[in-house]
Amino acid sequence: MVGDLGERELLNRAQLLLQQLSVTSDTVTGGGAIVIEGILNPSNYPNDPANISWNGLQAAAAGGQPSFAQIALGGSVSWGGGSSTSTATIQGALTTTVNATSFNATTQTLTARFWSTSVAPNSPWQSRGSFSNNIAIDNFSDDSKREVFITTADFDAAATTIAVGDELSGASSGAFRANTNISQIQRNYVTVLGTNYTRLVIDEDIQTSSSSGINVTFTVTSSIAADFNAAIRNNRSTILVPDSAVTSSGLRTNDTVSNASFMTSARTVNSIDTAYFKTGGVTYSRLNLSGNGSGNSPNGAGTQSMTVTAFQTAASYSGVNYIFFTSATWEASGATVSTRVATSDTKFPAGTTVTGITTRSLSTTTVYRVTFSQSLVSTASAAGTVTFQFGASYALPGEQVFSFISNPGDTDVLDLTELKELGTTAIGGRGTFPNGPDTLAINVYKVSGTATNVNLILRWGEAQA
């Protein structure tokens, strides 16, 4: 539909209402599907009016009815010059390494505090040291008062993270029973004279009380260090990795990790608990994996090298609608969203285009993840290439408003009544809407096989004002 009405400069307010597209074609040996697609306002519509030849429908041969619509044969259109191609190289599995850490037994000394009855808080009443002769460790018979208090400052400054399951022992006054462990931690449980205290609830009665009026030092043995005495275990689906390594590597959930000796098949990282454990001035993240190790790594302080593979990157891609490309070759290709895969590249069906582009970094390497409008029909292997095509002898989106397939020798009809009406801009122009009227181009091509003749009949109605 064109808006150039010559010298009269009339305002064209016509609306074209599509109704039906009929397709018939000749039968050919070997078949091969015929694709028919409608492109509204092609992006490569010629800017120069001399590069397209429009024909009116006023003549008797065209029905002789008044119409603002015009048609242009495909052969009369220059769609932007000759086509060119470029390639991008397929990225294989994107990998880096991080170290899973194991620990020796880790202990530290803390101080249990007493309170003078003159400053003891009225609540919470469980604060046994407040009401029982100013003692820091008390073997009071009530099980609800299995507790000691340390300052929150000491809790936060502990060289090794204090955690549920840690074992308490070695009190300098008073005594913990064997295998006494922390069962609950309540940080900032109470404030006395402006000092915040953390409550450590324990799972055993205290054997003997400490002396009244003195603070008591005791030993804490880390349960986390004990659990991770080996970096990888066949009965544990977690590993510890320094926070700094998680950050610098770019490791994410859904990536996979493996180890040549003790986790021989890849495990998926389901979640990451950052700042999970601190010891020796280093903070560690816990990686929660999809499965246990395949063996037990050696006990004691050390590390195990873990190979990290970025999610979805692989040595080859098959049956998916995405591929990863090396950064340098993708950027050099010039491809972007809507760029078509060249018809000479048979890894994708004909007419495949780029629909999305994202980046993924692992360690110091960045690659591009490119999504396509159709899935691979053959395997794309690492170091191979995908060929992209620029320029075309056909209409490029624009907006694709319909697409369907017909087989040679068939007659097919597509109902277009549900499509929006076609119109024009209030101020005429020589391009496509909004710099001119709506322009509908119809591309017809075969996916494979011998060429065949195709006949199209487009039916529409016009409302004129």
In the structure, what pLDDT confidence band is assigned to residue 286 with cuts at 50, 70 and 90?
very high
Mean pLDDT, rounded, of the chain: 87
In the structure, what pLDDT confidence band is assigned to residue 319 with cuts at 50, 70 and 90?
very high
Q: Quick one: average pLDDT of 321-341?
A: 96
Q: Is the pLDDT of residue 123 over 60?
A: no
pLDDT at 145: 67
Q: Quick one: average pLDDT of 48-65?
A: 74
Q: Quick one: average pLDDT of 151-172?
A: 94
Q: Which residue has the higher pLDDT, 226 or 136?
A: 226
Of 98-102, 213-217, 292-296, minimum mean pLDDT range = 213-217
3-state SS string for the chain: CCCCCHHHCCCCCCEEEEEEEEEEECCCCCCCCEEEEEEECCCCCCCCHHHCCCEECCCHHHCCCCCCCEECCHHHCCCCCCCEEEEEEECCCCEEEEEEEECCCCEEEEEECCCCCCCCCCCCCCCHHHHCCCECCCCCCCHHHCEEEEEHHHHHHCCCCCCCCCEEECCCCCEECCCEEEEEEEEEEEEECCEEEEEEEECCCEEECCCECCCEEEEEECHHHHHCCECCCCCCCEEEEEHHHHHHHCCCCCCEEEECCCEEEEEEEEEEEEEEEEECCEEEEEEEECCCCCCCCCECCEEEEEEEECCCCCCEECCCCEEEEEHHHHHHHCCCCCCEECCCCCCCCCCCEEEEEEEEEECCEEEEEEEECCCCCCCEECCCEEEEEECCCCCCCCEEEEEEEECCCCEEEEECCCCCCECCCCCCCCCCCCCCCCCEEEEEEECCCCCCCEEEEEEEEEECC
In the structure, what pLDDT confidence band is assigned to residue 308 with cuts at 50, 70 and 90?
very high
The 10s digit of each residue's pLDDT in 384-417 is 999 999 877 788 888 889 999 999 999 999 999 9
